[in-house]
Amino acid sequence: MTASSKVSKGKKPARKKATKARTTKATARKRTATKKKSPARGVNEAQRLRMIREAAYFRAMKRGFQGGSPEQDWLEAEAEIEQQLKNENNK
């Protein structure tokens, strides 16, 4: 066996690693670009989601956890919180 045949059988080309690194960076940029930004200053995504979760819970509690759906509670709570945050920004 020659040295060149050992390299081609045993190792992957270095170019593959560079491609993977570029893909990883591109994926990271895409994830960052698609993150939803909160409309209110001082409220991060985790806080916004907590506010929505609590508002959805209170909606379900108000109707005695009977009827309705968790998805509808969430959507209505999300709209309510988004409106509150927009109003805070306009003050």
| 52 within 8 A of 78, measured Cβ to Cβ | yes
Q: Where are the domains of the chain?
A: 12-90
Whole-prediction pTM value? 0.55
What is the pLDDT at residue 40? 56
What is the pLDDT at residue 13? 57
Residues of the chain below pLDDT 70 = 1-41
What is the pLDDT at residue 34? 44
What is the pLDDT at residue 9? 61
What is the pLDDT at residue 32? 45
C-alpha angle with apex 62: 57 to 67, nearest 5 degrees?
85
What is the pLDDT at residue 17? 52
Query: What string of DSSP letters covers the chain?
Result: --HHHHHHHHS--HHHHHHHHHHHHHHHHHHHHHSPPPSSTT--HHHHHHHHHHHHHHHHHHTTT-SS-HHHHHHHHHHHHHHHHHHHHH-
